[in-house]
Structure 1
Amino acid sequence: MWIESLLLSSLEKCKSLSQLNQIHALLTISGLANVFHYNAIIRAFSSTKNPYKSVSTFISMLRNDVVPNHLTYPFLAKASARILNLKLAGSVHGLVFRTGYASDMFVSNSLVHMYGSCRDIVSARKVFDEMPMKNSVSWNSVLDAYAKCGDVNLMRKVFDLMPRRDVISWSSLIDGYVKDGNYVEALAVFAKMGVDGVKANDVTMVSVLCACSHLGTLEQGRMMHNHIIENGLHLTLTLRTSLVDMYAKCGAIDEALAVFRAVSVRKTDVLIWNAMIGGLATHGFTQEALEMNVEMQDLGIRPDEITYLCLLSACAHRGLVKEAWKYFKSISQNSMEPKTEHYACIVDVLARAGQLKEAHEFIQDMMLKPTASMLGALLSGCINHRKLDIAEAVGKMLIELEPDHDGRYIGLSNVYAVKNCWDESRTMREAMETRGVRKVAGYSYVEILGTLHRFIAHDQAHPQSEQIDLMLDLIVKQMKMKSDCERRRQVFLDMDNM
């Protein structure tokens, strides 16, 4: 027993992978390892950056004729879930079945989670359906599996069938809608959660704030911040980062900075700095964004790929081509590989600055295949700077790349219209119809007193559409009157100067 106590004590104090490897080596050399020791090591490795060691430890366990038990497989399944290897997951499941642990609820729950992480919803649901007994963990595991596989509709059906829903269930559903891009429904589920008397936790609020960020609903975001404070939720760094991101994306830069500066710099990480730098960049505070990057690095926090995306975006807003190239080259200098998004940002910087020939050559010379975002940035720059020959070529490339995207046909049609090539412009619209590509109606959300209102062009579905139209007519008339007054004033000024 003293060996087991020493092992547990050593594992609790273990702070690095190298220390864990040393403990594993000592146990192996001593020859004293039993199922308890192996389970402890498999469990420890399953939470590290190298979960493969859990699998190799399990293989060593079998070779040393140590028989696994019901506590071995959940941690082996956890390691397999993090490795994301479906073949390995199937092997673990096969071992569970052959050793007679398939009916163990704890083991089966871990298998559902494993298959969900590997995006195999069919196998996850099969294990779930075949379980003789289920608990809340079982239901939450299959709910999470549907969320990971992106099937929010079936996820909702499972949620509605659940005999009992806890905060994990509600949080999973909300997060599922957020990941699916259905932010309005995510907030609606959160509201229903409160009505059902289930208290949100910090994980719930991270997803809810993310929904507010994407919708730009500042008032609702403020309400969520108040909800966090009033309910005494622990302000984890992740939750603080979500608050910074929400305020920044909603344009409330001062409030974002207030939340950001309230965190001790020693407890910050690159994610919260990225949220702040990105918010400043998005809203045109270029110099402040670049200065914050310097401040972050002075504190010893290394930038990551997202940091450089934010910095390149800031350069694009201000037309800082020289600085953008410096940041782009820094990515490789800091032992990172530039992603397609970084290349797209450089194209955007050059295109906005009117250096369209350079942007076009950059795309042609790079090793990567051009993406729609790169070509889209170049097309926008060409149209804005009236480089229509390049715009036409890029527009055709975009249609080849995304033949089912309505905006690609409309974009090229608009290029032809600017060139007064009306036949070609009409041909593009006809080609779009022939291929069965339909234009997706654009819509806007307007937040009034914390309530979201959705508007589509020429839509009369809003219950107050008549009053809205009257108000718009009044505003247009006032604008015309003001314009007429300005013109008359200018005429009188010209007459006075004669």
Structure 2
Amino acid sequence: MVKRSWLSTSQNPNHTLISLLDRCKSMAELKQIHALIIALGLSEVESFTTRILSFSAISNSGDIDYSYQVFRHLSNPTIFNWNTVIRGYSRSKNPNRSISVFTQMLRVGVSPDHLTFPFLAKASARLSSLRLGLAIHSCIFKAGFEMDRFVGNSLIHMYASCNDIASAQKLFEEMPQRSLVSWNAIIDGYAKCGDLVAARVIFESMPERDVVSWSSLIDGYVKAGDHREALTIFNRMRFVGPEANEVTMVSVLCACAHLGALEQGRMMHQYVKDNALPLSLTLRTSLVDMYAKCGAIEEALLVFNGVSVHQTDVLIWNAMIGGLATHGLVKESLELFTDMQNLGIAPDEITYLCLLSACAHGGLVEQAWYFFNSLGKHGMTPKSEHYSCMVDVLGRAGQLDEAFQFVSKMPVEPSSSTLGALLSGCITHGKFDLAEEVGRGLIELEPDHDGRYVGLSNMYAVARRWNEARTLREAMEKRGVKKSPGCSFVEVDGTLHRFIAHDTSHPKSVEIYMMLNGVVEQMRLDDGYQA
């Protein structure tokens, strides 16, 4: 509570008010101070308005809509005031409002400066709107700020975010002076577009690198699915680069989760502790997800239960509910959802995916229908992933006719994952006629996907329809579709070993094949196994 006792004793109330604004920690405090300022008739004093606008528009505890209301009541807002509101909206849930405020600014005759345009470029990037970005670039050119380094960096980021990496590269090459931010922007752009070759070339040619440079490259490899290379780069960073930050560790933990590399994941957790990195909610959520996906559900629960603020964020609950479901702990998963509801945390679309997954593992068809129908009741529209999960629930439970009817009545075209779930259920429960129809539908949907041919061929093999299986393999070869070799990973003492069928690249491949041959021979002797 802001006290008013200073009013009768303070020699300079302006200094006191400024001090209060500078120490403000919440919107509740700001509103009290603002009320005092209005009561004293000081609401147009620039030193006050700039601080009120800045806190409400930019701080993590702010409220951009409140900032805009304050801004609207200013009789003569400065360019700094306009930029503050534009900046606030560019980082908000409604970045398009930045453009609206900018349009108002032009209408009243206020000229933008070099600080206005980076915020507008950021808004365009967050909206992934190339059309809007081009319009902003045109305004920049007319205003004569195209050669400004900060503006140029924001344009590189904007073009890359809108998947126009050629324009981003052109701007980068034409820059008269490049800062570290310029290099990072173009690396991040190539990484986001999936061109890791170009990103790596630029990374290796950088005159200097910071944590953003390393993090962008690591995240690029994670997004591209090359999780081993992401970990390799991180290990290189540990020895020659800067200390990692939260962004780096979230990417690295994601890589460990996808590889199932539990020991490496534990090492990453220890790295966070050793370097005293703040355990933000995002980082804790990544730890929960990593431990759950690596099979260490107890460790995931330890991290989850140690979060004092997890009641305020649905993401960490989703990670834990989904982790429990994956481990077959269906009862615990559903109980956790009840706890989440009791705490007043609203579920999102991912929550319902996790719940449907739990129902699939537990054979809970009625409960699955309840959750699926709850999506609409809470104002959410089921996505293709929800339909796929529901088909998986019905397929695992052997309700194939119901699953087929469900797919037939879907308001959207069935995705490959939806049909794949139906095919799996048909094969499991011996519904081969329906499996054949679904399998051929999958091939029609994705004629160049090797897995679609293999799935139907496997069905023919299970049904002992060898001629059809052979014909399908021939059709696959005739079309030029090659089966991608599957690979597996084994982690030994924190080191990942990758294996592909008939591969001899491993340094101990001779010893490994000798051991495997010995195991097969022993199986023959013991049980009459036929290799």
Calculate the TM-score normalised by the size of structure 2.
Answer: 0.88
What displacement does 1:457 show?
1.4
Q: Does structure 2 retain, via aligned residues, the 8 Å contact 1:4–1:37?
A: no
Map 1:243-282; keep pairs closer than 5 Å: 243-265=287-309, 268-282=312-326
What displacement does 1:135 show?
0.6
The equivalent position to 1:323 in structure 2, one of 367, 374, 381, is 367
Corresponding residue pairs, total: 481
Q: Which amino acid aligns with 1:11?
A: L
Q: Which amino acid aligns with 1:26?
A: H
Query: Structure 1 residue 120 and structure 2 residue 167: aligned?
Result: no
Change (3 A) 1:195 1:71: same
Change (3 A) 1:475 1:420: closer
Q: Which amino acid aligns with 1:403?
A: P
Query: Structure 1 residue 20 and structure 2 residue 64: aligned?
Result: no
Q: In the aligned structure 2, how far is the partner of 1:182 from the partner of 1:420?
A: 38
Q: Which amino acid aligns with 1:172?
A: S
Query: Structure 1 residue 448 and structure 2 residue 492: aligned?
Result: yes
Who is 1:425 aligned against?
469
Q: In the aligned structure 2, how far is the partner of 1:67 from the partner of 1:456?
A: 62
The equivalent position to 1:11 in structure 2, one of 30, 53, 56, is 53
Q: In the aligned structure 1, how far is the partner of 2:143 from the partner of 2:188?
A: 27
What per-residue deviation string (whole Å, max 9, x for no partner) do you get for residues 290-322 of structure 1? 111111111111111111111111111111111
Q: Does structure 2 retain, via aligned residues, the 8 Å contact 1:174–1:204?
A: yes
Q: Which amino acid aligns with 2:52?
A: S
Q: Name the SS for the 2:382 alignment partner.
A: coil
Q: Which amino acid aligns with 1:35?
A: I
Q: Does structure 2 retain, via aligned residues, the 8 Å contact 1:190–1:208?
A: yes
What per-residue deviation string (whole Å, max 9, x for no partner) do you get for residues 354-390 of structure 1? 0001101110111110111111111111111111010
Q: Report which stretch shifted further, 144-153 or 209-218.
A: 144-153
Map 1:297-376; keep pairs closer than 5 Å: 297-376=341-420
Q: In the aligned structure 1, how far is the partner of 2:101 from the partner of 2:82?
A: 7
Q: Does structure 2 retain, via aligned residues, the 8 Å contact 1:112–1:124?
A: yes
Q: Name the SS for the 2:491 alignment partner.
A: strand
Q: Report which stretch shifted further, 468-477 or 145-154.
A: 468-477
Who is 1:79 aligned against?
123
Q: Which amino acid aligns with 1:329?
A: N
Q: Report which stretch shifted further, 55-64 or 384-393.
A: 55-64
Query: Structure 1 residue 179 and structure 2 residue 223: aligned?
Result: yes
Change (3 A) 1:327 1:193: same
The equivalent position to 1:49 in structure 2, one of 69, 89, 93, is 93
Change (3 A) 1:162 1:267: farther
What displacement does 1:461 show?
2.1
What per-residue deviation string (whole Å, max 9, x for no partner) do you get for residues 200-244 of structure 1? 112111110000000000000011111111111111111111111
Q: Name the SS for the 1:108 alignment partner.
A: helix
Q: Which amino acid aligns with 1:345?
A: C
Q: In the aligned structure 1, how far is the partner of 2:466 from the partner of 2:526?
A: 36
Q: Which amino acid aligns with 2:51?
A: S
Q: Report which stretch shifted further, 107-116 or 249-258.
A: 107-116
What displacement does 1:246 show?
0.5
Q: Report which stretch shifted further, 143-152 or 401-410.
A: 143-152
Calculate the TM-score normalised by the size of structure 1.
Answer: 0.93
Map 1:343-422; keep pairs closer than 5 Å: 343-422=387-466
What displacement does 1:161 show?
1.5
What displacement does 1:418 show?
3.0
Q: Which amino acid aligns with 1:409?
A: Y
Q: In the aligned structure 1, how far is the partner of 2:369 from the partner of 2:220?
A: 38
Map 1:90-101; keep pairs closer than 5 Å: 90-101=134-145
Q: Name the SS for the 2:45 alignment partner.
A: helix
What per-residue deviation string (whole Å, max 9, x for no partner) do you get for residues 148-199 of structure 1? 2222221111111211011110011000000000000000000111121421
Who is 1:169 aligned against?
213
Who is 1:490 aligned against?
none
Who is 1:489 aligned against?
none
Q: Report which stretch shifted further, 46-55 or 443-452.
A: 46-55
Q: Does structure 2 retain, via aligned residues, the 8 Å contact 1:11–1:44?
A: no
Q: Which amino acid aligns with 1:425?
A: A
Q: In the aligned structure 2, how far is the partner of 1:78 from the partner of 1:36?
A: 18
Q: Does structure 2 retain, via aligned residues, the 8 Å contact 1:443–1:454?
A: yes
The equivalent position to 2:107 in structure 1, one of 47, 59, 63, is 63
What per-residue deviation string (whole Å, max 9, x for no partner) do you get for residues 51-70 of structure 1? 22221221222222212111
Change (3 A) 1:154 1:98: same
What per-residue deviation string (whole Å, max 9, x for no partner) do you get for residues 81-110 of structure 1? 222211110111111112111111111111
RMSD across aligned positions (CA): 1.7
Q: Which amino acid aligns with 1:10?
A: I
Query: Structure 1 residue 463 and structure 2 residue 507: aligned?
Result: yes
Q: In the aligned structure 1, how far is the partner of 2:263 from the partner of 2:394?
A: 36
The equivalent position to 1:228 in structure 2, one of 266, 272, 278, is 272
Who is 2:7 aligned against?
none
Map 1:123-162; keep pairs closer than 5 Å: 123-162=167-206
Query: Structure 1 residue 435 and structure 2 residue 482: aligned?
Result: no
Q: Does structure 2 retain, via aligned residues, the 8 Å contact 1:244–1:256?
A: yes
Who is 1:496 aligned against?
none
Q: Which amino acid aligns with 2:48?
A: L
Q: Name the SS for the 1:444 alignment partner.
A: strand
Change (3 A) 1:266 1:474: closer
Q: In the aligned structure 2, how far is the partner of 1:203 from the partner of 1:266?
A: 19
Who is 1:33 aligned against?
77
Query: Structure 1 residue 240 and structure 2 residue 284: aligned?
Result: yes
What displacement does 1:21 show?
2.8
